[in-house]
Amino acid sequence: GAGVSQSPSNKVTEKGKDVELRCDPISGHTALYWYRQSLGQGLEFLIYFQGNSAPDKSGLPSDRFSAERTGGSVSTLTIQRTQQEDSAVYLCASSLDPFSGNTIYFGEGSWLTVV
């Protein structure tokens, strides 16, 4: 597609349930990132995938969070046993090889509300 596509755009879930958020990056982009945007917390890095390399998971806040990227394209961020503090906008982004200074393009985000 023309841009980074995320689904669902909005998700309301009950505390304790698992959720999956999907990201479809721009075609040809080898790098894929997940960020979380919370009220009062700004944007925080979660995880980064680059080609076939092992992902950088250093930003994941707990072991309830995981992500995978299948076939070097689509990525799924999974949050298990959701908590109210997980409520946030989850932003996916992609870029060409990041080490050459290419622009990172963001999707519109998935707004997660845990009730």
Partner 1 sequence: AQSVTQPDIHITVSEGASLELRCNYSYGATPYLFWYVQSPGQGLQLLLKYFSGDTLVQGIKGFEAEFKRSQSSFNLRKPSVHWSDAAEYFCAVTPYGGATNKLIFGTGTLLAVQP
Residue 2 C-beta: closest distance to partner 1, Å = 12
Question: In the bound complex, what is the minimum distance in angstroms from residue 103's beta carbon to partner 1?
Answer: 5
Q: Which two tokens stand for residue 11?
A: 């998700």
Whichever of 59 and 80 has its CB closer to partner 1, that residue is 59
Using alpha carbons, select from 58, 5, 52 the residue that is nearest to residue 31: 52
Footprint on this chain of partner 1 (rule: CB under 8 A) = 3-4, 31, 33, 35, 40-45, 48, 50, 56, 59, 91, 93, 95, 98-99, 101-109
**Among residues 14 and 41, whose Cβ is nearest to partner 1?**
41
Backbone Cα Rg of the chain: 13
CB of residue 66 vs partner 1: minimum separation in angstroms?
18
Q: How far is the CB of 113 from partner 1 (least distance, A)?
A: 15
- In the complex with partner 1, which residue's Cβ is closer, 79 or 89? 89
Please name which of 20, 6, 1, 4 lies closest in space to residue 86, comparing C-alpha atoms. Answer: 20
Name the E strands within the chain.
Answer: 5-7, 10-13, 19-24, 31-38, 42-50, 65-69, 75-79, 88-95, 105-106, 110-114
